[in-house]
Structure 1
Amino acid sequence: MSESDKINSSKAPEPVGLYPHARKVGNLLFLSGVGPRERGTKKIPGVELDEQGNILSYDIATQCHSVFKNVRYILEEAGSSWAQLVDVTVFLTNMKDDFATYNRIYAEYFKDNLPCRTTVEINCLPTPIAIELKCIATIG
């Protein structure tokens, strides 16, 4: 893999570790996990934290809209598009309370493009967020 295969968006939030936003392999684009954080700030849309950084409350709808926006940023800057998504893995930290809202908003964004989808509940994510997406798209 060459350095040119790595994509880092100028609009999506900075990675929280040593990884690019995406990698091109042939005509496929593999996105690293994308959350709802905002670039250049510690602010997380829809999340209220206490002084120690613990979650006091969160709004899953706001986080869904933000994470979908971040995925779109990465896709477009990499030369792909929302319509070229072929596989989406969604990680939720609270399936019981959040799935219905997430599923409704997901349907709004994906009504014209039906990528494969897997949704799983996990214990936590590396930042205080409730949703993260892992995506594969085509390029060209």
Structure 2
Amino acid sequence: MTDQRIHTDKAPEPVGAYPHARRVGDLLFLSGVGPRKPGTKQIPGVTLDEAGNITAYDVAEQTRSVIENVRIILEASGSSLEEVVDIQVFLTNMKADFKIFNEVYAETFASIGATRTTVEVGALPTPIAVEFKVIATVA
């Protein structure tokens, strides 16, 4: 059985001691993926004050960036968005963000038909509003 840890310089650097993904057999498990731009600490759609506190954010822009980062990791792992089977979504403000997030999510995933669970969390490790945890297949 294949067991491989995957890291790619094309995706944002992990914020902890973990790989971007791990392949076990024909399944690919992605670590939590946020919206940071690869090679930088820049978070699309986020405005921070001098103390690093979020003063404004755009959940649509962040969601699009997360999907792009997921695509990068999947392709570096020999998979693709079309092979996604399950997504766990973490939002920091379900009441304010779910409708907009869901519309952006549907642009990519409505036709793919992956299962999904969406939960609200009190905070994420960096000043972001959305993060995905993805399982996909590898042909």
> TM-score scaled to structure 2, two decimals?
0.97
> Please, which runs of 5 or more residues in structure 1 have no aligned partner?
none
Q: Deviations over 1:19-50 (max 9, x none)?
A: 00000000000000000001221210000011
2:39 alignment counterpart:
40
Q: How does 1:1-140 map to 2 (within 5 A)?
A: 5-140=4-139
- Structure 2: segments with no counterpart, 5+ residues: none
User: What is the aligned-residue identity percentage?
Assistant: 62
Q: d(CA) in 1 for partners of 2:39 and 2:110? A: 31
Across the aligned residues of Structure 1 and Structure 2, the Cα RMSD in angstroms comes to 1.3
Q: Find the aligned partners of 2:39 and 2:83 in 1 and give their Cα distance.
A: 27
Deviates more, 1:26-35 or 1:38-47: 38-47
**Corresponding residue pairs, total:** 139
Q: Which runs of 4+ in 1 moved over 3 A?
A: none
Compute the displacement of 1:111 (Å).
2.4
| TM-score (normalised: structure 1) | 0.96
TM superposition shift of 1:10: 1.9
> Hey, what's the Cα distance between the residues in 2 that align with 1:9 and 1:115?
24
Which secondary structure does the structure 1 equivalent of 2:70 belong to? helix
Alignment deviations for residues 29-75 of structure 1 (CA, whole Å, 9 cap, x no partner): 00000000012212100000111111010000100100000000000
